[in-house]
Amino acid sequence: MSTDVMIKANALSKRFGNHRALDNVSFEVRRGEVVGFIGPNGAGKSTTMRILTCFISPSGGSAAVSGFDVFDDPLNVRRSLGYLPQRAPLYTDMSVWEYLRFTAEIRGLGEDTFKARLKKVVEVCGLAQTLNKDIATLSHGYRQRVGLGQALIHDPPILILDEPTSDLDPNEKAEVLKYIKEIGKDRTILLSTHNLAEVEEACARAIIVSKGRVVADGALDNIRSKGSRINYTVTIDERHAEGGHQPPSAKEVEDALAKLKGLQGVKELPTDERAHSFLLSGAKDTDLRAELFRLAVQRGWTLLELRRESQSLDAVFKDLTRRDEKLDRGDDWSGAYDGAEDEDEDEDDEDGEEQSAGPDDAAEGKN
Ligand SMILES: Nc1ncnc2c1ncn2[C@@H]1O[C@H](COP(=O)(O)OP(=O)(O)O)[C@@H](O)[C@H]1O
Ligand SMILES: [Mg+2]
């Protein structure tokens, strides 16, 4: 293993009874990377993190942190990482200072080291004004900062943070994220979340898991390019038309757009303007803008807006994790039992193995 690989998961699997929570999960995180570990609830993020932090053992596969095997060398694994579990076990009757001192003691830090570290932790996590307050009196946002402080007290090179911003209000989220970014400047971080905006803000790379499997791993740009469609926003004035044409109704616009070759989906968008606005999707590597422009000219429509953009990370995420969702809902049943084809399923499958997000997803996923 290269010395630069700080976290290595190798074919991890985990069963809880009959339930397979992890299925052959492999990935590496290199020194200095801040990696978003993303997936829907139940995907296996916490299970993976609990294996990496030696809280549970895998049913199969192996894992190493900072070069130390989680089976053979759990003490060194724990020494090299700080861990903020999804539900941080804070002792609410302690003050922040007491709690941090307590965690430092457990970590075996001497008094002087603790003092020096505390100064740094207080600075990095913004805890100066809360040190003497009881944890019970703190807001969620401050509690998470204390949790971060606890994970950092022994100055570990690696941090494993399990949904550190869930349950926080938008301001608190932004704050905690700011501290994580600060911390990430000189550390390796694996950060789980189901909030993609956070990943886009704090991470250059993401690993997407779904139902216990890794479905994507790479730079965010690469993951975005896994999207199989390109979206277009088209807005047509509903009041004016040129060349003796009548102003078009929404239905006319939709029907004309739907006939365009290469189009895969049309969806009307709400708009405040006196206009008809549509979200279209077409295959990746195509460009329908010239066609759309010509169509507008030919019909005498006034084109107020024409925009082409790749799928957002959100839409790709849904793309990659949706098949499992469909399986959960039993969508494959009818096909399996009587051979009847589900139209939706059929349409999606034309794009190959991976599901494609249609305009529905694109509409929600815009950012
Ligand atoms: N201790 C456990 N006992 C039984 N099932 C569990 C246990 N922990 C997790 N699971 C199951 O494993 C799957 C993955 O859970 P988890 O890793 O917590 O997902 P995530 O953190 O991505 O939301 C879920 O279906 C969950 O119900
Ligand atoms: Mg979890």
- What DSSP string describes 218-246? EEHHHHHTT--EEEEEEEEEEEEESTTPP
162 alpha carbon, closest ligand: 2
Residue nearest to atom 17 of ligand 1 (CA): 44
> Residue 273's pLDDT is what?
82
How far CA 187 is from CA of 171, 298, 340, in Å, comes to 24, 58, 53
Per-residue burial over 234-270, b = 16 or more CB atoms within 10 Å of its CB, e = otherwise? bbbbbeebeeeeebbeeeebbebbeebeebbbbbbee
329 ligand 1 Cβ < 6 A? no
Tokens of 298: 């030919």
Domain ranges of the chain: 5-224, 225-367
Q: Which CATH number fits domain 225-367: 3.30.70.100, 3.10.290.10, 3.30.465.10, 3.40.50.360?
A: 3.30.70.100
Residue nearest to atom 8 of ligand 1 (CA): 47
Residue 109 CA to ligand 1 centre (angstroms) = 33
Task: Indicate the top mutation candidate among 46, 49, 208 to test ligand 1's pocket, ranked by most ligand atoms within 8 A of CB.
Answer: 46
* CATH 3.40.50.300 corresponds to the domain 5-224: yes
Per-residue burial over 279-314, b = 16 or more CB atoms within 10 Å of its CB, e = otherwise? bbbbeeeeebeebbeebbeebebbebeeebebbbbb
Residue 16 CA to ligand 1 centre (angstroms) = 8
How far CA 120 is from CA of 112, 113, 117, 148, in Å, comes to 13, 11, 5, 12
Assess contact for 146 and 90: CB atoms under 8 A.
yes
Give the up-direction half-sphere exposure of residue 38: CA atoms within 13 A in the CB hemisphere: 30
Residue 211 CA to ligand 1 centre (angstroms) = 10
Pairing of strands 34-38, 205-210: parallel
Distance CA 347, CA 360 (A): 14
32 ligand 1 Cβ < 6 A? no
Task: Indicate the top mutation candidate among 13, 15, 16 to test ligand 1's pocket, ranked by most ligand atoms within 8 A of CB.
Answer: 16
Q: What is the pLDDT along the chain (367 residues), one digit of tens a residue?
A: 456 999 999 999 999 999 999 999 999 999 999 999 999 889 999 999 999 999 999 999 999 999 999 999 999 999 999 999 988 778 889 999 999 999 999 999 999 999 999 999 998 888 999 999 999 999 988 998 999 999 999 999 999 999 998 878 888 888 888 888 988 888 999 999 988 888 888 898 999 999 999 999 999 888 877 777 888 999 999 998 888 888 999 999 999 999 998 888 899 999 888 999 999 988 888 899 999 999 999 999 999 999 998 777 777 888 788 766 665 666 544 333 333 333 333 333 333 333 333 444 443 333 3
Residue 331 CA to ligand 2 centre (angstroms) = 26
Residue 87 CA to ligand 2 centre (angstroms) = 9
- pTM to 2 decimal places: 0.76
> Residue 328's pLDDT is what?
62
H helix intervals, the chain: 45-52, 74-80, 96-106, 111-125, 140-152, 170-184, 196-202, 220-224, 250-258, 289-299, 313-328, 333-338, 343-349, 359-365
Residues 6+ apart with CB under 8 A from 142: 127, 130
Give the number of the atom of ligand 1 that is nearest the alpha carbon of residue 48: 17
Tokens of 111: 């008094």
Pairing of strands 68-69, 60-65: antiparallel
Distance of CA 265 to the CA centre of its chain: 25
> Residue 348's pLDDT is what?
36
21 ligand 1 Cβ < 6 A? yes
42 ligand 1 Cβ < 6 A? yes
16 ligand 1 Cβ < 6 A? yes
> Residue 67's pLDDT is what?
95
71 ligand 1 Cβ < 6 A? no
Collapsing DSSP states into helix, strand and coil, what is residue 328?
helix
Give the number of the atom of ligand 1 that is nearest the alpha carbon of residue 41: 23
Residue 212 CA to ligand 1 centre (angstroms) = 9
